[in-house]
Structure 1
Amino acid sequence: MSQMYLRRFGEHTGPRQYKLTARRIDNVDQPFTAAPNKVLAERGYYWGTTFDGIPHHGVEDLFTELEGATASVLRTVLDAPEGALPARWPLSGSERLMLSWWLAAQILRTTRQRKRLAFAAQAAERLDAPAEIAAIAANNPHLSFIIERLAALAFTLYARPWGLGFSDMCLLTSDVPVALFNHHDAEDQLTAAALCDILVPLDPHRLLFMPSPRMQADDPYKRADHRMKIPGAVGMALVQVAYDVADALVIHHPRHDPWVHWAPSGPRQPAPWNGKNHDAPKYVLEYGTLAPHLTVERHWLTEHPPASAKEAEEAPGIGGDATG
């Protein structure tokens, strides 16, 4: 899991030191403290074979390079001094391209994908790959899956309209940081990524959202890059979606705890590899776009007004309207 990304959900406690709050899906009422470089870290996750007795880790190096380049893009988006939402949006083409590659990697590299592929046990057509990588892929279906789809998925994400949002509700992330609404575990991940609403929590109060073609048909403002302000009740729905797709762990900032105003409800996304074959939850989300001249003051990234009675009443539901 990307340490660069996880640090955005961590409390800075010292030079290069951060702490997170993590919760195991099978025991969410017992949070524990973890460091970004200790949680969701598995050495050799993509190693499928050895060369001359030495494990090959070139793909992990590729992801590390992607994360390093993406860090500067996230700083542009999340550290803008003029507000919690930057005045410069959309991103430049090069910034958008880099973030697209990183997002594609986050969709493909998760433990949930690995378990889904192992359960399905389907043979996939392979694109040509360097001999050294292809040798690993032959022993590692998940790695083969990543190699075949990474570039095409990055292009698919690059071509979609992007919404950058601020949520009044504190957000969480997980070992599955990108959620594809309603078809998260589709066998054809490229088609799902082209047609589904996509949610990416970026930090405790910012998120990236890619509206589906249905949303775009209903609202012309969502056919291009846009910004939005998400009220608390809709933010709770987004927390539920992010929670539903997690595999083993959810993570949030120690001082931005979604459980203060929210609790899990209903069945999560099914996990047939664990014997959980129930129907998947369905999500419908509506929000309004923010006028280009408006933003959110940065102090709301750390200040938390109390939830209104209306928000408390609507908390379990999915839906509602977000307006700027």
Structure 2
Amino acid sequence: MQKMQSINTYRFILDPTSRKYKCPNCGQRSFVIFIDSQTGEIMEEYGRCDRESKCGFFYHPSKGGFNNSRNSDIVIDKIEIPSPSFHHNSIVEESMQLKSDFLKYIGLLFGTSAANEVQSKYKIGTFQHFNYSTIFWQIDGLNNVRAGKIIKYSESGKRTKNISWMHKFLLHNNFIKSFNLSQCLFGLQLTNNDKTSIIGLVESEKTACIMSVVFPDFLWLSCGAKGEFKLAKLSAIKDREIIAYPDCEIQNNGTSTYDEWKKKAEGFNKVGFKIYVSDLLEKESTLEQKKQGIDIADYFMKEVNGT
């Protein structure tokens, strides 16, 4: 049976740094502000005064509205959630005995030796039960296998929109009884042996793999999707220097992924992160490329091929 653990809900968290703001109640620089952990937004109007006996001002951004009270206790709901589940390492090793079309694509781009190195480095598997799709294993800093993300690529590097997960297959076929998915960054295990390189953070696993060959001076990791650029997932690399490369894509509301990530990064940096969001693609891409949603690997491969 999956063990349960009691944790605090943390959509809104108090700034964990020593930074203090002017308290709106007593006027002293003793106000600890709230941060939206999902968006990275710095919420300077909400917080708690550290002068608990002399002031005790507390202004909390609750879900259903805003609770403004003086000399009040902080009420944080507790919930019970399953502890993270892990796949057996033997499944990872077994999946690496085959070569998916994605690895063949990497081989066509850079040669068989480079493809083998990418597979070994990132622990990329092949799932024969799903038309020899690629398994991007998510392995954390303690070498726990947290997830197996399954995506079908062609030998030309094109992917389908269908994404599955190894735990879903195992559950469906009764190989396991339960699984609590708790994701981490793709490639996170590499930070164990490389503690000094600048981290290049991208959206897709494919981009991280290609950039690890094109620009090996960086340690390339993937958050898995544009919406996965969030505090909880990045916490494991908080102390590292990070350059984020969002895909160059115009959203339906007219903004770009760059705009979203830049705003989030500004909030993350106020609580101790060191993230620079690159505007290279924003400056260099054509309108057509932005409509296509190119990524940093697309850009550099065009440079390499002279197109």
Q: Same fold (TM over 0.5)?
A: no
The structure having more radius of gyration, on CA atoms, is 2
Compare the two structures and name the one with the higher strand fraction. Answer: 2
Compare the two structures and name the one with the higher helix fraction. Answer: 1
Higher RCO (Cα < 8 Å, 6 or more apart): 1
TM-score under structure 2 length normalisation: 0.26
